[in-house]
Structure 1
Amino acid sequence: MLGEGLSFFNILRITVDIALVWYVFYKLIMLLRGTKAIQLLKGIFVVFIIYLVSYFLNLQTVQVMIEQIIVWGPLAVIILFQPELRRALEQIGRGSFFSRNRRSEEEIFNQTIEAIVKSCKYMGKRRIGALITIERETNMGDYVQTGIPINGQLTNQLLTNIFVPNTPLHDGAVIINQNEIVAAACYLPLSESPFISKELGTRHRAAMGISEVSDAITIIVSEETGNISLTRNAELYRDIDEEKLRDILVKELEPNFVKAPTLKSWNWRGKKK
């Protein structure tokens, strides 16, 4: 028999108590992610560290100042972050605070796929040449740095506009990570394989080249024929239609997209946040 202090119900109660606190803390972090409130949390952590240092070093003036911050800080937080607090209370009232974000992730993923497919279809019909590389596990930082940073949300309008002929960014590759266009006008390594057809141009050789050194998926839209091709794992798939393109992207990108730590955290790889 377990003692009173270590009874099964006491252990269960403590476990549930800790689990609930951690779950609520996790949901709050997810809710505040991407807002200015997350910077507040970092600031609170820094103030806490300073307070501990001042306590152990007996820095009385610093302690008095931080104690005043602790006293008046909650009021300032309520005033400054009233929109975020209201949003959190609204989510609790709707019951969405304790629900998973799986649906929103799926919606963003589907929007990303459709944006790429629609853009390629549009450019193919009008014979607008394009080279689109989608990053997966292999870091593309070296190639991102050769281009112009975009760091914009992926939409078919933005993606198409980049490749409009005679514009500053149309020459080169666009690199996409998750639902973000990271950079444009990037240079990719050209394949030196002797097995590539002589009728294929620079875009196809660049697409094959990056597929030989990374696990990225690259889409090519030919400006001569309007046909859409795709490379992955050093293999070239030529003249694929809209449905085939969508199927490949869904199959290949969904695992990387869903397991990503955050959908909006990808930044200019040469200058990580």
Structure 2
Amino acid sequence: MNVPILLFGDKEINGYKPYHSELIKEYEIEPVVYTQEEAKTTTAYLCYSSGTTGKQKGVEITHRNVVTNLTQIINIEQDFGSHSIFMGVLPFYHNYALLCSVHLTLICGATTIVLPDFDVEIFCRCIEKYKINYIHAVPPIILRLVKDPIVRKYDLSSVKMIVSGAVSLGYELERVFFTLFRIPIKQAFGSCGILLQSMEAKIISDDGDDLGPNKPGELCVRGPNIMKGYLNNRDATNAAFDKDGFLYTGDIAYVDDQGL
């Protein structure tokens, strides 16, 4: 059985050459440079949808989408920095973890403790050992932490905040979790509060008409963080956006008299 070996560093050891001398030889790698228009249209990642409305679809995320979304997060979470220690437990091939567990921590110069999957005891042990203070999670993880008695064996006091996304987290579960652990949870799923920077929104009726204050309807959003479209699926892409480029979210919302 042949086992590939990658030798890091600059020195040859026992006949094995450093990987960079084998892969890139002595050539200097030119950085990839995009114009603003190229960054807007060039797909950086292909993340797949969950398939809640049919077959899973390849979601084209452009370079501008990534940069914009990271800028929006950093603008809100101004406490993130080189002192931050994140938990990397969500699948990196999903957009949520790809941005928050990979790119965000690199930009902030933070540390990420990466787990191969979610095991409640290993999860808690890593929090206690590495003093993890920020966790991006999903509701099933929150539920396990509430239900499993083994969690009480560990010191989770280093955690300053948990961000819950992907699906809605119920109020009761959030309340029980905070009562047990005194750790605040911020929801990154839903439609409330003020818009993120560079975003536009409108509320429409079933007929597509714009609605005024305090009238519930479908929330539609437009901005540089919104996906390019679905891979090789023009019909699904066209159905997801209106003629002005607003994305139909499927969320029912309303704007109050203060514009919130």
Verify same fold: TM over 0.5: no
Name the structure with the higher strand share.
Answer: 2
Higher Rg? 1
Name the structure with the higher helix share.
Answer: 1
* More relative contact order, 1 or 2 (CA 8 Å, 6+ apart): 1
> Normalising by structure 2, what TM-score?
0.22
> Normalising by structure 1, what TM-score?
0.21
